[in-house]
Amino acid sequence: MNAKGDLIARALTLGLGAPTFEAETHGPPHDRRFRVTVRVGGQVLGGGGEGRSKRDAERVASESALQALDGTAPATPHGAPPTQERWPIYGAVLAGALDAALEFAPEDATLDDVRVRAARMYRDLLRDLGHGPDELDNPGEAP
C-alpha cells in the first residue's frame, strides 16, 4: 500500500485538491526525528505522523489522514471530532460513479461538472445501499 499516493488520489477524486505535507525536524543530527502534518484546503487532516525518516513520517501522516477521510479517526490532531459527517469510501463504487459521470457527460462539460455529477451518483448509490449521512439529501437539488 502507498498511503501517500492513495491519499493524494482520494483527495483529488473527492475534489478537495492536492494535500500538502509539512515536515518538521527534531533532535540531534545523529538521532533525527521527523513530524509531518497533512493539510487539505488549508485544514489539518488526521493526527499527523512521526518517524525516523521524512518518508516514514509522511506515510504515517497519510494513513492518519486517510482514516480521517473515512470517518474512522478524528480530523484534527487534538482529538476534536469532524465538523461534518463523512461519506464512507468504497473505491469500486466511487470509480464506477466517476466512469459513468465521465461517459455520460456532454462534450462541453467541465471537470467540475463531471465531479458534481459523479458525487451525486455516488451519494445516490450510497443511499440506495443504505449508507451515507441523511444531511446529504438536498430536496431542491436536481439529480
Question: Over 90: is that where the pLDDT of 24 sits?
Answer: yes
**pLDDT attached to residue 83:** 41
**pLDDT attached to residue 30:** 92
The count of other CB atoms within 10 Å of the CB of residue 84 is 10
Q: What is the pLDDT of residues 34-61, one digit of tens each?
A: 999 999 888 898 889 999 999 999 999 9
Look-up: residue for cell 459513468?
Answer: 100
Q: In order of start, what are the domains of the chain with their CATH numbers?
A: 3-70 (3.30.160.20), 91-136 (no CATH)
Question: Over 70: is that where the pLDDT of 140 sits?
Answer: no
Q: What is the pLDDT of residues 87-107, one digit of tens each?
A: 666 777 777 888 888 888 888
**pLDDT attached to residue 91:** 72
Q: Is the pTM of this model over 0.75?
A: no
